Amino acid sequence: MTTIKGPAIFIAQFIGDEAPFNSLEGICTWAKNLGYKGVQLPTLDARFIDLQKAAESKTYAEEIKGRVNACGLEITELSTHLQGQLVAVNPVYDQLFDGFAPLAYRNNPAARTQWAIQQLKYAAKASQNLGLNASVTFSGALLWPMVYPWPQRPAGIVETAFNELGKRWKPILDVYEECGIDLCYEIHPGEDLHDGITYEMFLDKVNNHKRANLLFDPSHFVLQCLNYLEYIDLYHERIKMFHVKDAEFNPTGRQGVYGGYQNWIDRAGRFRSLGDGQVDFKNIFSKLTQYNYTGWAVLEWECAIKHPEDGAKEGAEFIKNHIIRVTEKAFDDFAASGADDALNRKTLGLD
């Protein structure tokens, strides 16, 4: 077994236009002072990392790594959530998702998709240049508008969509294999990969690609009423990243999983700061440790109630207190008999 690394923090939700949240050194120093040991970097904001440059210049990548290290932190992974979303977009969402792409690629879905695919490939090489071993993304979604089968889905449309999803992602995954990087899909509502079954369907289309791995985030499973502890039992060999995010689900006589089109604070299912929700993190950390998860425990803060800076401060201590320092000896070693093979055979009546 291995002791999980952490605490670390995903900085995407904290980036802003005012210090210390508007520069790499500023946000890293802030995180270090809260007790974090690592930062997970989004890759669309050039103030923090120029993704293409990091892919094409090892010198620049090492400079970024050095700037983070100088603040007393490590880079845990790179995030391409927003670019991954654009790898596959149902036309109903074209306008809504255009904002994730540069102006030059808006109102042009085909060009936007190619831009996103190239971004994912840059992230593979940038991760390699930074000395990392995993990166996180979204799968995108061709089918999400049809997640509830009414009207009845046309025959074969699910197969067609997953065939296309596999066709788009397989060459990307091959680049990650070349670079020695695990690409971890965050299993998430709004994506075609939103639970275990859809992940398995995707694996089938990419020939069980060894780099098509998982980021485990239990908060999304609370909102789906999915057994997130059994999920670890099922997929622990594929779990290479971990977002520590809390959530709660409080159905009423008026609303349930679908939330009645309400905003986050008024939904039955909502994300919470660590310790304020319903996720059983004691069992999660125990299971991940048992299965020898070797990565980082990374705070992702999303809460409609608590201030983000308070969530970050409390989150560092919360993660620290849940990381299990693994034992190097068995609890009953004190009672060891010191038996050898001869005694074992005699005890079993074999001599």
Please state, rounded to an integer, the average pLDDT across all residues of the chain. 97
Q: For position 338, what pLDDT does the model report? A: 75
Q: Is the distance from CB of 138 to CB of 192 less than 8 angstroms? A: no
Q: Is the distance from CB of 347 to CB of 44 less than 8 angstroms? A: no
58-100: pLDDT as tens digits:
999 999 999 999 999 999 999 999 999 999 999 999 999 999 9
138-162: pLDDT as tens digits:
999 999 999 999 999 999 999 999 9
CB within 8 A of 308, min separation 6: which ones? 13, 14, 301
Name which CATH class applies to 5-347.
Answer: alpha beta
54 pLDDT above the threshold of 90: yes
Say what the pTM is.
Answer: 0.96
265-301: pLDDT as tens digits:
999 999 999 999 999 999 999 999 999 999 999 999 9
Q: How sure is the predictor about 163, in pLDDT bands with cuts at 50, 70 and 90?
A: very high
335 pLDDT above the threshold of 80: no
**Domain locations in the chain?**
5-347
CA dist 75 → 37, 238, 312, 314 (Å)? 9, 21, 17, 21
Q: For position 343, what pLDDT does the model report? A: 84
Give the H or E element holding residue 270: strand 269-272
